Structure 1
């Protein structure tokens, strides 16, 4: 033990000496280049004398940066990122001026404006050198994080002993389907996952709801309800606005509705942390959480995740270099794809290289570092979303070489988190899961030369623009990057929803969620029936149902209730009552459970007048996205509907009875059950209504929403969930009993 301490201390001292030497050389070089920066007295000094002056100045500057900078950053968390970015240079320059004033013989001098440049260059060089020395020294990095976390725990007055029950970390690999994960393991792209499968973890697939996208899945997983989320974006006639899952205002409203419905703060309500997610899950510790991004002031702690990460100069340099490299990599990959003539292909120019770099570098680095800090702080439950694969697969394809490279980087991030767990004050069980997969295929517009909106307008007898309309992408990282920037600048990020209102008139509103289309008629109240649509637009439904790029439609009929319209070979277009559909008929190709998923969505208050699912080819797995994506998700068909759960075998098997996990709400129940198993009956998570990020809903509220029809597709109880693991509520508090882990099957 003593020898190890001496070796560690020696390594740290060596790094300090090397960084000091490099900083000294940098200062000498700058003094030779910049006319207003001198390290010699007016009479001139020897090289040795100048070198000593540079060494003294570099040492004092480094010491001041180490001692004063953390205090300044803590104070600067109260100002906007724009002000912080400007102040960084002036404060660095001020520290350098102070350092040079402390040189004993007073031979060093620099103009104030030059000091800003010199300080910036020296900080960058010192950080880069320190990072380069520590990049292979994982132990040093983990020890540093451990010391920071220990100080944080002491400030909070926390003590986590060795007898503490295990914590749980949920890492969501956004968009990674079950089949993609299995193939990546077989191809050797994810050695950490492969080792876990061999030694410690169990892999299970689950089936999404009809809306196979992050908004619906993560809301159900974290908050136990994704009721009334028919797509990624949808029009609500009663409010006259378009809901978009990855808009802060919409995410906040969806979270509010879910908490009101379940009367449950969320999966992370007991000492939890939510990192990089659309929703908070009831966590108190937040970073990059979209549902709170629209808030201003101290209540929005999500913004602090960026500052906490970039306050470390080494982090800033490492991420900035990686960001530039990722932009260059995307441009190179895009050019090679065009030269090879890869098909299908979609546009990857404009801002996309920077958006991809944000998702694959900035968000990854901030989220992974936050998770490691949570583990070293001993938090009970952590849920984090890594969106890199999903963003790249949308534009390069889910089985592309570009996406495979991202899977390799994700595996390295998972391995680093697993290593950090060895230094945490409590043991951790790490669960990997995904919210959906992705299905490949050429876009609808690319295959047929017109968008879904064009087809709808043609079927309504409305003019169609000759210019091909480009449908907006629903990729999570695109709006996340924009809103993160606006949030960091202290600008409101929810105001864009005001623009998401259809223009006046009776023109149909056509929205896309991957290969799921939602068509509404805003000038007509309530959900229109097939008969009403036929009277107003006689050709519309036949135009849609008869198109080869469309698999089926869902509409309401006055005579038969809700019906499915689809092509049936020689029989032409058939109308089948939804209530009578089973595993046969036009939905059979979309897999088992498709009819149940459609029936559940049909019960939602805000289901569109016409729900459209694209065609699906079971042989090739192709779908046609109604957006500009060659890897898509949002509807039924193929790999998009089958994400995965990879959990330690210490947890109960979620499908021990040979069944199938169906829907995000069922996954929520499984994860709650696992939290209870990890913590034990005496420590199982309570679910108070006092979630700071959700509305208070008193128990027994006569106006509380009721469980909708179709809830018979709710979760099956996992083994070991026969009893509610949560303790009785303390006196004076009320904890709802309606969201028991693995229970209330027909709730």
Structure 2
């Protein structure tokens, strides 16, 4: 053992010397290339010999490396309260400052650089040092394995000191990787076409795949809450109005996410899927995990128990990581601007505005979030944690603005596949066996926006249907004119009024919210859930105006489904709702019936029209790839599992319906990995979607 420790220490010393030597050569090369960076005494630069210049470079490289190792982690920890986007932009400045400090430590003032040049030199040296260190570690495979086991042993000792329960590393562990917004068909096409070779290889050799059906609210908030906490009851949409508090709940708002998680835990009496030695990375909810990074539901907390930003520290504490991510961030911003301009010049349709802050938002989702989450997952596997759940949001963000089947999203899928390959390679060196499960929370459906197609928003249509003033532009549209005519007829007013003469509302304006192609209308002046009769009395033309609009598929009002041409069906009438909602899929009536039982369901739920031939819907938001309601691929995400795990179904005619059912499957797989398999009750036996065979 002593000999092994000496060998390990000797190998580490050799790697340090090699990295130092490479950094010294890099500094010499940059001094010869950049005119504002010198390593010689005197203005003329001819007083030092080659040996003196080399010694100066060695001192400078050593000082910079030492400062990066000692000072950089302290700086990053001090800046954890700074937003991640700002921290990424500060990376270059901080790294350049460390280089200037290192040059000031060189004797006789031989090191000197302009601030702008120092930023460039620091970035190049950090990247070269990181690449060299990584190459040496990978080359020495045995040393790498010993280091991993040493990390795992150190973690076990810390858990023992802190009295924390540790997992049995003799049993397999699970990593759940959520590819946000990637539908079942999208993944199969990407694997079959060679766009995602890692996924294709897994399907050929080790995994199986099936689809599952989302709830009516086909969006991350409802799906991930159900998957991680076992209940998404009373989550009717991505955003909704709660009359009892007067608040608008939004799933990606920290305070709302924290409240939704609290409600789910209270309803189930369980902390979540990840309570036993688990880690939650990049998610809206914690799942009960003790290890958190980029988790929204805890990000609003203040105090020592909020470790959501620990993922930033773990990643950005390495200056090379910070520099690489910052460079990729800038490149992604440039890529988005280029793709947007190219699409505009080509006249691509449909399209939405992609200016303003969107290039920065896209770059954060596709670069910063991806890099930090992947690094956190790798750290979890090296530490031997029993369960990890991570969300990679890149595809979903880009598909909203570029379309779910665009060239832009294909590039994102290819980069996600490379991240999966990296995680798989690291799993080979982890101190325990890891089984990787891929899944998504929803898909995306394409289509022109409601505003682009009809010239007015859902809110404009509702206001026109209520006889409230709307903008002149919206009032001149065909939809707006029809709504105003319907109001005049309902109120027996044959003469059209101007906007100033329009009938004022009898109370507060209706609250109109959008969640993809699902719209929600609430009337604050009507207490409780408004009945159809009360809505008709207050706004006699509204429901018929909405139901007969070509961009609306159906309405849910007080237990009744309404569609165009006066078609209606009560949800409590057997078979009636199934027939009316058949175009939206076989599970549509079941999903609508469940949402109708929610305490905070809106007074009027509006689902956009859906074209079964093209799969297109009309988002009530400015998104040409949308999700949130019923219609097409948005309601058919995927579940992809290793063959060592049991099938999600034990009945040939079963279906995997709803996020809560997915939670039960994942919990069963955790039980299988941790011990003997537990028989699944018939009510929890669910089947994958059609065609679970490997992709071609």
TM-score (normalizing by structure 1): 0.79
Say which of 319, 328, 331 aligns to 2:334: 328
Q: 2:613, 2:109 → 1: CA distance? A: 78
Change (3 A) 1:163 1:633: closer
Q: 1:53, 1:8 → 2: CA distance? A: 23
Correspondence for 1:419: 425
**Structure 1 SS opposite 2:241:** strand
Q: 2:16, 2:392 → 1: CA distance? A: 32
Correspondence for 1:378: 384
- In the TM superposition, 1:409-488 aligns within 5 A as 409-466=415-472
- In the TM superposition, 1:675-690 aligns within 5 A as 675-681=670-676
Q: 2:31, 2:221 → 1: CA distance? A: 51
> Do the aligned residues in 1 keep the contact of 2:37 with 2:114 (CA within 8 Å)?
no
Q: 2:669, 2:98 → 1: CA distance? A: 53
Correspondence for 2:274: 268
Structure 1: which 5+ residue stretches go unaligned? 470-502, 557-561, 685-712, 720-747
Number of aligned positions between the proteins: 639
Say which of 641, 644, 650 aligns to 2:644: 650
Change (3 A) 1:273 1:21: same
Correspondence for 1:535: 537
Q: Does 1:18 align with 2:17?
A: no
Over residues 572-614 of structure 1, what are the superposed CA-to-partner deviations in whole Å (9 max), with x where a residue is unaligned? Answer: 2122111125374220011111111101000000000000101
> Do the aligned residues in 2 keep the contact of 1:39 with 1:54 (CA within 8 Å)?
no
- Report the CA distance between 1:102 and its aligned residue: 5.5
**Structure 1 SS opposite 2:270:** coil
**Structure 1 SS opposite 2:286:** coil
Q: 2:580, 2:251 → 1: CA distance? A: 29
Change (3 A) 1:456 1:581: farther
Q: 1:267, 1:141 → 2: CA distance? A: 37
Correspondence for 1:129: 128
Correspondence for 1:667: 662
Q: 2:87, 2:211 → 1: CA distance? A: 47
Change (3 A) 1:528 1:328: same
RMSD over aligned CA atoms reads 3.4
- In the TM superposition, 1:211-250 aligns within 5 A as 211-250=217-256
Q: 1:208, 1:376 → 2: CA distance? A: 33
**Structure 1 SS opposite 2:468:** coil
Q: Does 1:717 align with 2:677?
A: no
Say which of 630, 634, 641 aligns to 2:635: 641
- Report the CA distance between 1:119 and its aligned residue: 5.2
Change (3 A) 1:84 1:400: closer
Change (3 A) 1:277 1:576: same
Change (3 A) 1:715 1:394: farther
Correspondence for 1:311: 317
> Do the aligned residues in 1 keep the contact of 2:277 with 2:386 (CA within 8 Å)?
yes
Q: 1:516, 1:275 → 2: CA distance? A: 28
> Do the aligned residues in 2 keep the contact of 1:652 with 1:718 (CA within 8 Å)?
no
Correspondence for 2:411: 405
Over residues 501-536 of structure 1, what are the superposed CA-to-partner deviations in whole Å (9 max), with x where a residue is unaligned? Answer: xx9951000000111000000122100011000001
> Do the aligned residues in 2 keep the contact of 1:515 with 1:634 (CA within 8 Å)?
yes
Q: 2:391, 2:514 → 1: CA distance? A: 23
- Report the CA distance between 1:540 and its aligned residue: 0.1
Q: 1:628, 1:663 → 2: CA distance? A: 27
Q: 1:14, 1:299 → 2: CA distance? A: 40
Correspondence for 1:368: 374
Change (3 A) 1:454 1:133: same
> Do the aligned residues in 2 keep the contact of 1:64 with 1:95 (CA within 8 Å)?
no
Q: Which moved more, 1:207-216 or 1:114-123?
A: 114-123
Say which of 537, 554, 574 aligns to 2:567: 574
- Report the CA distance between 1:718 and its aligned residue: 6.0
Change (3 A) 1:309 1:75: closer
- Report the CA distance between 1:323 and its aligned residue: 1.0
Change (3 A) 1:22 1:598: same
- Report the CA distance between 1:268 and its aligned residue: 0.3
**Structure 1 SS opposite 2:526:** coil
Q: 2:627, 2:585 → 1: CA distance? A: 15
- In the TM superposition, 1:284-303 aligns within 5 A as 284-303=290-309
- Report the CA distance between 1:10 and its aligned residue: 7.6
> Do the aligned residues in 1 keep the contact of 2:238 with 2:628 (CA within 8 Å)?
yes
Q: 2:587, 2:146 → 1: CA distance? A: 47
- Report the CA distance between 1:39 and its aligned residue: 3.0
Q: 2:293, 2:255 → 1: CA distance? A: 17
**Structure 2 SS opposite 1:645:** strand
Q: 1:629, 1:117 → 2: CA distance? A: 40
> Do the aligned residues in 2 keep the contact of 1:202 with 1:648 (CA within 8 Å)?
yes
**Structure 2 SS opposite 1:274:** strand
- Report the CA distance between 1:62 and its aligned residue: 3.2
**Structure 1 SS opposite 2:309:** helix
Structure 2: which 5+ residue stretches go unaligned? 161-165, 476-504, 688-696
Q: Does 1:210 align with 2:216?
A: yes
**Structure 1 SS opposite 2:519:** strand
- In the TM superposition, 1:74-223 aligns within 5 A as 76=78, 80=82, 93=97, 97=101, 100-101=104-105, 103=107, 106=108, 108=110, 120-131=119-130, 139=138, 147=147, 150-151=150-151, 153-154=153-154, 157=157, 164-223=170-229
Change (3 A) 1:161 1:553: closer
**Structure 1 SS opposite 2:308:** helix
- Report the CA distance between 1:334 and its aligned residue: 1.1
Over residues 700-731 of structure 1, what are the superposed CA-to-partner deviations in whole Å (9 max), with x where a residue is unaligned? Answer: xxxxxxxxxxxxx9952369xxxxxxxxxxxx
Q: 2:234, 2:530 → 1: CA distance? A: 17
Correspondence for 1:65: 67
- Report the CA distance between 1:48 and its aligned residue: 2.2
Correspondence for 1:479: none
Change (3 A) 1:51 1:333: same
Correspondence for 1:563: 560
Q: Which moved more, 1:93-102 or 1:397-406?
A: 93-102
Q: 2:87, 2:455 → 1: CA distance? A: 47
Over residues 653-703 of structure 1, what are the superposed CA-to-partner deviations in whole Å (9 max), with x where a residue is unaligned? Answer: 112312100000000000000000011149x9xxxxxxxxxxxxxxxxxxx
Change (3 A) 1:86 1:519: closer
**Structure 2 SS opposite 1:384:** strand
> Do the aligned residues in 1 keep the contact of 2:91 with 2:322 (CA within 8 Å)?
no
Q: 1:137, 1:638 → 2: CA distance? A: 49
Q: 1:138, 1:169 → 2: CA distance? A: 24
Correspondence for 2:497: none
Q: Which moved more, 1:134-143 or 1:301-310?
A: 134-143
Correspondence for 2:616: 622
